[in-house]
Amino acid sequence: MQSWQLPEYIADILPSGARQLESAKEKLLALFRSHGYELVHPPLMEYSDSLLIHIDSGLSLKTIRFVDQISGRQLGIRADITPQVARIDAHLLSANQGINRLCYAGSVLHARPEGFLNSREPLQAGAELYGFAGIAADIEIIGLMLDSLALADFGDVLLSLGHIGVFRALAASAELSPQQAETLLAMMQDKNVAAVRGQVEAWALDGMWRKAFSLLPTLYGGREILAQAREKLPDLSLIGKALDELEAVCQAFPQQAVHIDLAELRVDNYHTGLLYAAYGSDGHDAVARGGRYDGLGGYFGRSRPATGFSFDLRKFLGRLPQGGRRTAIAVALADTADAAEEIARLRAEGETVVVDYGMEANSTRDGSRRLLKQDGKWVVLGD
């Protein structure tokens, strides 16, 4: 193996892409700030006990762990920033009993990629709202997610909605054991309708529950699915509440293309209610995902209602509006001392000024503008 080779699903980002990423990050953080979301920077690594929160086996498989040479305790490199932000809200910001709006943008590391086209080092950006249990908080967050994607060219964005509460209400009413619920949830996630039907029959569940679980994977489509679900699913208060929340989101975005799937349960184990994702017009993978995760902060000493979303900023590469970046101004090495004051002034105004050492690669990359002295004054010539 050559010394310059990188691990699989790990890649360098070259200057053009790096500029795009920084531009996307700057615009996103400005958008978050305009909605009242304050930036936090959690550390890249923590004690694994804090990162893994004891409930998410999927997160555990993603997390790379090693022994701390100072304390001897096990450390982990974060695979998801959301639990870290929940820790910050629960512990470091516990003096605020009201709403906390927090945002972030930073690298995470996955032991395995989430798909063949994804990096093992996503640049995760997102926003979280803590302290309000009402559906209005979810609507605010979903609106911010859609506004974030509008900064780039993802085409006609499709908003996908689900609700883990429907499945969990059925599982509780059917008196499934935690292991049975986990088994059935995995089948739902795989969209294996035949396996779901076979499993509930093998467990000899009551006919009403067999019918409901078998029906759940077929309840997907447009806004009309909500009426069908109210008609066909058991009349349980928690199911009614979940459908009411989905209805409220649909009404909040009347012009938005919406897809509802009551068996779309591809969630982290800490999610507790409404689920949402956004898809671009040219892809099958979600560009952004989020959901409600009430109580996650309880693992850090303060249980609070919470909702939020995140996405990989790398998905913005090649989708941001181009143009507006001027070429650099080249100044000959021999002129740098004499032109030092003018160079400083130009840089203070936001211009890029580079020293031309007379090498072809340098002058080709930095464009055709040059700083030259004419009639005793320094002027910029060229396009």
Token output for 343 = 């160079």
% the chain with pLDDT above 70: 94
The pLDDT assigned to 72 comes to 95
Same fold, 1-155+280-324 and 158-260: yes
Q: Evaluate the CA torsion angle 267, 269, 271, 273 in order and state its sign.
A: positive
Which residues, in sequence order, are bridge partners of residue 354? 330
Instruction: Kindly tell me if the per-residue pLDDT of 6 is higher than 90.
Output: yes
The pLDDT assigned to 367 comes to 57
Token output for 79 = 């695979």
Q: Output the average pLDDT for the chain.
A: 90
Instruction: Kindly tell me if the per-residue pLDDT of 11 is higher than 80.
Output: yes
Q: Evaluate the CA torsion angle 144, 135, 82, 182 in order and state its sign.
A: negative
Torsions phi, psi of 187, nearest 5? -65, -40
Of 182-196, 228-242, 299-313, the least confident: 182-196
The domain locations on the chain are 1-155+280-324, 158-260, 328-381
The pLDDT assigned to 323 comes to 60
Query: Is 81 annotated as belonging to a binding site?
Result: yes
Question: In this structure, which amino acid lies at residue 109?
Answer: L
The pLDDT assigned to 266 comes to 67
The pLDDT assigned to 267 comes to 59
What homologous superfamily is domain 1-155+280-324 in, according to CATH?
Bira Bifunctional Protein; Domain 2 (3.30.930.10)
Neighbours of 180 (CB within 10 A): 16
Say whether 19 sits in a helix, a strand or coil. Answer: helix
Q: What is the pTM of this model?
A: 0.89
Question: In this structure, which amino acid lies at residue 371?
Answer: L
| Domain 158-260, CATH | 3.30.930.10
The pLDDT assigned to 363 comes to 47
pLDDT tier, 326 (very low <50, low <70, confident <90, very high otherwise): confident
The pLDDT assigned to 50 comes to 86
The pLDDT assigned to 29 comes to 96
Query: Is 128 annotated as belonging to a binding site?
Result: yes
Token output for 107 = 């690298």
Neighbours of 338 (CB within 10 A): 12
The pLDDT assigned to 188 comes to 84
Query: Is 294 annotated as belonging to a binding site?
Result: no
Token output for 249 = 């989101």
Instruction: Kindly tell me if the per-residue pLDDT of 262 is higher than 60.
Output: yes
**CA atoms of 344 and 361, how far apart (whole Å):** 24
9: alpha, beta or left, given left = phi > 0 and alpha = psi -120 to 50?
left
Quick: pLDDT tens for 93-136: 988 899 999 999 999 999 998 877 889 999 999 999 999 999 99
Of 2-6, 24-28, 40-44, 273-277, the least confident: 2-6
The pLDDT assigned to 231 comes to 94
The pLDDT assigned to 360 comes to 53
Extended beta strands in the chain, E state: 38-39, 45-47, 64-67, 74-77, 100-107, 123-130, 158-163, 220-221, 258-261, 274-279, 288-292, 306-312, 329-332, 353-356, 369-374, 377-381
Instruction: Kindly tell me if the per-residue pLDDT of 281 is higher than 50.
Output: yes
**CA atoms of 223 and 257, how far apart (whole Å):** 9
Token output for 150 = 């509008």
Say whether 207 sits in a helix, a strand or coil. Answer: helix
Q: Measured in whole angstroms, how far is the alpha carbon of residue 248 from the centre of its chain?
A: 23
With contact defined as beta carbons under 8 Å apart, do 268 and 80 qualify? yes
The pLDDT assigned to 287 comes to 93
The pLDDT assigned to 340 comes to 96
The pLDDT assigned to 146 comes to 97
Query: Is 352 annotated as belonging to a binding site?
Result: no
Q: Evaluate the CA torsion angle 70, 75, 78, 80 in order and state its sign.
A: negative
Pairing relation of β-strands 369-374 and 329-332? parallel
Query: Is 374 annotated as belonging to a binding site?
Result: no
The pLDDT assigned to 364 comes to 41
Question: How confident is the model over 180-207, as a mean pLDDT?
Answer: 87
pLDDT tier, 88 (very low <50, low <70, confident <90, very high otherwise): very high
Crossing angle (nearest 10°) for helices 178-189 and 164-173: 140
Token output for 274 = 């409404």
Instruction: Kindly tell me if the per-residue pLDDT of 254 is higher than 90.
Output: yes
Query: Is 63 annotated as belonging to a binding site?
Result: no
